[in-house]
Amino acid sequence: MKRYAQVFQGTAFTSKSPKEVDCLREHLFCINEEGIIERVVAPEAADYQAILDDYRDEPNFQRLTQGQFILPGFIDLHVHAPQWAQAGTALDVPLYDWLHTHTFPLESKFSDLEFAQEVYDDLVSALLANGTTTALYFATVHKESSLLLARICASKGQRGLVGKVVMDDPEQNPEYYRDADTRTALEDTEQFIIEVKRLAESVKQGVYPVVTPRFIPSCTDEALKGLGELAAKHDTHIQSHCSESDWAHGYVQERLGKHDAFALHDFGLLREKSVMAHCNFLDEADAALFAETGTAISHCPISNAYFANSVIPIARWLDKGVDIGLGSDISGGFSPSLFDNARQAVISSRMLEDGVNPALPAKQRGVPASRILINEAFYLATAGGGESLSLPIGRLAEGFAWDAQMIDTALPGGKLPIFDANEDLHDIFQKIMYLSRPEHIREVWVQGEKVHSRA
Ligand SMILES: [Zn+2]
């Protein structure tokens, strides 16, 4: 019989489509040396019992106990790593002020590698403890501390996609926090790409360089064009912000005479591996361009409630076939948990559908057909994130990485309200999605390696 590196037996949940969750009762998950799910075996399968008999007494076999369930690890498509140091604060000012009075002064401190080490180390551990197995990070303009973040992801076992941020326009960025000039911004970015690729050669779960113009307002045309060329030359991921707020959306329209989506496309920044944060003010043509180029939306529902002046019609763009995942947007969003963000995604969509101003008649209050359900929010946090990054992650299926989190619903002192041993599995799934706290996440794996344990 084939030798697997690990075999797990238990009940798991994974997305079949944006609207459908597969409840895999008492399946076997057979993981190979590379940390890939080689087989998912249902109890009805002919060799289920044979595999079980072969492995049940082996040290590499793990049977989940009563009340334990497996979910795919979460994929956070938008994290500003340095802003972890201000999470939960400064949420009462508009985006422009938030950047200039709080965020840029904080980010400028990451020239100090010791400070960067302290914050990044803590953040990566916190995200793993929240079940986030892959994260797409903005670091800062500093090449060295951005590299440090990639190294910390590598050593803690998280799949990190990391960008050295480019903000080179002297008109738009403070002197204390920007690239020295456009040429330096591009040279540092290319050097960063090369060094992260070198680092990746010895990292099992992968670590990836990401071309990262902060957003159009902070970059010169020359830098944006140069970054598009670098991404094509080195075949990297790209991330930025797109049409986030009234101010940001209006600024680009005024400067370039078009929406962010078309401007980014003209600079070569929309491609299969591109992920754009927020995207609240996309119109139909922008969304069609996203679908056509394979560009993904990183939906950041908590952050959007504070800074985006609107609720993005996520159901509409899902229907259009745009790739969409979920982002915490630390620290525009205060929570490092994609459970929290999945809940907010559902809540915001309900408020968009019904509307929020009780002074208006019901028929004029909202936008019909805007709601998403928790199944779709779960999809965004897992499979949708994987598709957005064009990586085989986010599903518990053959050929995907064993990136997983084990939820214990029977935790002493934190039991979820499950009173029937035969409760419908989809009800249990919903309880997990709505009620889990970090303490329920008992074990987390990335690429087959255990990276977090509360046991
Ligand atoms: Zn952001």
Domains 6-72+395-453 and 74-389 share a fold: no
Cβ-Cβ contacts under 8 Å for 39 (sequence gap 6 or more):
4, 28, 29, 30, 398
Contact in structure between 423 and 63 (CB atoms under 8 Å): no
**Can you give the residue ranges of every domain in the chain?**
6-72+395-453, 74-389
Question: What is the distance in A from the centroid of ligand 1 to the CA of 227?
Answer: 18
74-389 topology per CATH:
TIM Barrel (3.20.20)
Q: Which residues pair with 30 in a beta bridge?
A: 7, 39
Helices (H), 282-410: 284-293, 301-307, 314-319, 338-354, 362-365, 374-381, 383-389
The token pair that represents 65 in the structure block: 């106990």
Helix (H, G, I), strand (E, B) or coil at 376: helix
**This prediction's pTM:** 0.98
Distance between CA 63 and CA 43 in Å, rounded?
Answer: 14
Question: What is the distance in A from the centroid of ligand 1 to the CA of 78?
Answer: 6
Question: What is the distance in A from the centroid of ligand 1 to the CA of 245?
Answer: 11
pLDDT in tens, the chain (455 residues): 679 999 999 999 999 999 999 999 999 999 999 999 999 999 999 999 999 999 999 999 999 999 999 999 999 999 999 999 999 999 999 888 899 999 999 999 999 999 999 999 999 999 999 999 999 999 999 999 999 999 999 999 999 999 999 999 999 999 999 999 999 999 999 999 999 999 999 999 999 999 999 999 999 999 999 999 999 999 999 999 999 999 989 999 999 999 999 999 999 999 999 999 999 999 999 999 999 999 999 999 999 999 999 999 999 999 999 999 999 999 999 999 999 999 999 999 999 999 999 999 999 999 999 999 999 999 999 999 999 999 999 999 999 999 999 999 999 999 999 999 899 999 999 999 999 999 999 999 999 999 999 96
Q: How many CB atoms lie within 10 A of CB 439?
A: 12
Question: What is the distance in A from the centroid of ligand 1 to the CA of 358?
Answer: 31
Question: What is the distance in A from the centroid of ligand 1 to the CA of 138?
Answer: 8
The token pair that represents 406 in the structure block: 């084990």
Question: What is the distance in A from the centroid of ligand 1 to the CA of 156?
Answer: 24
Distance between CA 94 and CA 285 in Å, rounded?
Answer: 28
Question: What is the distance in A from the centroid of ligand 1 to the CA of 277?
Answer: 6
Question: What is the distance in A from the centroid of ligand 1 to the CA of 332?
Answer: 7
Whole-number Cα distances in Å, 149 to 138, 153, 278, 387: 10, 6, 23, 24
Distance between CA 49 and CA 55 in Å, rounded?
Answer: 10
Superfamily of domain 6-72+395-453, CATH level 4: Urease, subunit C, domain 1 (2.30.40.10)
Please list all protein residues whose beta carbon sits less than 5 angstroms from ligand 1, which is an ion: 277, 329
- DSSP assignment of 69-93 equals EEEEPEEEEEEEGGGGGGTTSSTTS
Question: What is the distance in A from the centroid of ligand 1 to the CA of 380?
Answer: 17
Question: What is the distance in A from the centroid of ligand 1 to the CA of 279?
Answer: 11
The token pair that represents 139 in the structure block: 């670091």
Question: What is the distance in A from the centroid of ligand 1 to the CA of 274?
Answer: 14
Question: What is the distance in A from the centroid of ligand 1 to the CA of 161?
Answer: 15
Helices (H), 235-337: 246-256, 260-266, 284-293, 301-307, 314-319
Question: What is the distance in A from the centroid of ligand 1 to the CA of 239?
Answer: 10
Distance between CA 113 and CA 339 in Å, rounded?
Answer: 31
Question: What is the distance in A from the centroid of ligand 1 to the CA of 273?
Answer: 17
